Amino acid sequence: MLLLQQIVNGLLIGAVYALFATGLSLTLGVLRIMNMAHGVTISIAAITGVEVAAHFGLPFPLLLIMGGLVGAFVGVVSETIVFGPLRRSRSHDSHSREFSTLLGSLALLTILQSLAQIYTFDYTDDQILRFPTDVFKSRIVSLGGIEVRTISLVMFAVAVVLSGLVWWVMRWTQAGRAARAVAADHEAASMLGIDVTRYAYVIIGSAGALAGVAGILIGIAFNSVDYLIGSAYLLRGFAVLILGGIGSVPGALVGGLTLGLAEGLTVHFIDSSWVDAVAFGLLFVVLVVRPQGMFGKLEVDRA
């Protein structure tokens, strides 16, 4: 029964990994940006969420929307000051542009994380912020002997619904088709009249929004928010990305659940201190055995 409990716990947290990784996957798949600053979005959204909840008493659903807006804002700012200028820069060739983008996101990570640190440093003694307890009154329900917190169930539901939404948009709408065209070839897409710059904003904004929602959910579920809260999710997000395949939305969902499950099993059979190693061991194995991930198409990279 304890094993089953760990499996369920793993799947529930895995949904959040999926939610976060979906955004990471979109930015990498469509825009070729390996955004190391994506994790900070979680921290910033969660910190803002605590402040807003404490001062204005925003109800839970509005808090989620606000988290999404804050995340989208972080994304748009990143695109405006870092990724957009680098994409248009003429002094970079395609290889050095990819590399500069990676470095640019590292610089962005340093800036945003330090800002978050400064904010929390001034504000509290232990630098840990907590949501007011009445934001979401989580109860424990028993499902056939397995105990689950209601917040975890909400977290799971929100993650699955949002992932489904993103998948539907990408698969069936005109905007999704355009985004996939951009993913295939920036230049060809722009020749076909697709405004790549606009789609870059939409994609990064949406990715930020997903991370923002994840930030609020994580902040409430674990009720401990600090400026580093997102970094653990960033690493897991990359693992999920590789597991599921870059650019694949269902892949991110399945990858997230798989990672959550693997972590649950690790806690049960080995020890919680090995959780990180198992996540990345899994990543490593997938890259060697099936580099395109579970759902990705094989991409032939130049040289």
Partner 1 sequence: MMATLAVLGFDGTAQTLLELALLNALMAYSGYVVVAGGSFSLAFVAFIGLGAYTAAILSLDHSIGFLPALIIAPILAALGALVLAKPLERLSGVYLALVSVAVISVFRVLLLNFDSLTGGALGKSGIRPRIGTQELIVGAVVVVALFALIYRSMVGRAMRLVRADPLVAASMGVNVRRLRLWLFVASAALGAIGGVFRAYYTGFVVPGDYGFELLITLLAMVILGGVGHWTGPLIGAALWTLLPQWLDPLGLWRDVATGGILLLIILLLPQGISGGVRTVVHKARRRFQVRGSSEEEHTIALAEAAADEAGSDMVQPGGDLVRAPAAGLDGLT
Rounded to a whole number of angstroms, the minimum distance from the CB of residue 295 to partner 1 is 15
**What string of DSSP letters covers 21-32?**
HHHHHHHHHHH-
Q: Are the beta carbons of 16 and 23 closer than 8 angstroms? A: no
Cβ at position 225, least distance to partner 1 in Å: 19
Give yes or no for residue 239 binding partner 1 (CB under 8 A): yes
In this structure, the number of other CB atoms found within 10 A of the CB of residue 58 comes to: 16
Phi-psi sector, 141: left (phi>0), alpha (psi -120 to 50), beta: beta
Binding piece for partner 1, criterion CB under 8 A, among 5-13, 62-70, 84-92, 162-170: 84-92
Half-sphere exposure of 165 (CA within 13 A, CB side): 12
Choices 61-69, 214-222, 255-263, 283-291 (CB under 8 A): range interacting with partner 1: 283-291
Among residues 93, 126, 174, 193, the one that binds partner 1 under rule CB under 8 A = 93
- 123 binds partner 1 per the rule CB under 8 A: no
Binding mask of the shown chain, residues 186 to 225, with x at each position contacting partner 1 by CB under 8 A: -x---x----------------------------------
Contact string (CB under 8 A) for partner 1, positions 11-50, x = contact: -----------------x---x-x----------------
Measured from the CB atom, the residue of 51 and 98 that comes closer to partner 1 is 98
Q: Which residue spans within the chain are E strands per DSSP? A: 140-143, 146-149
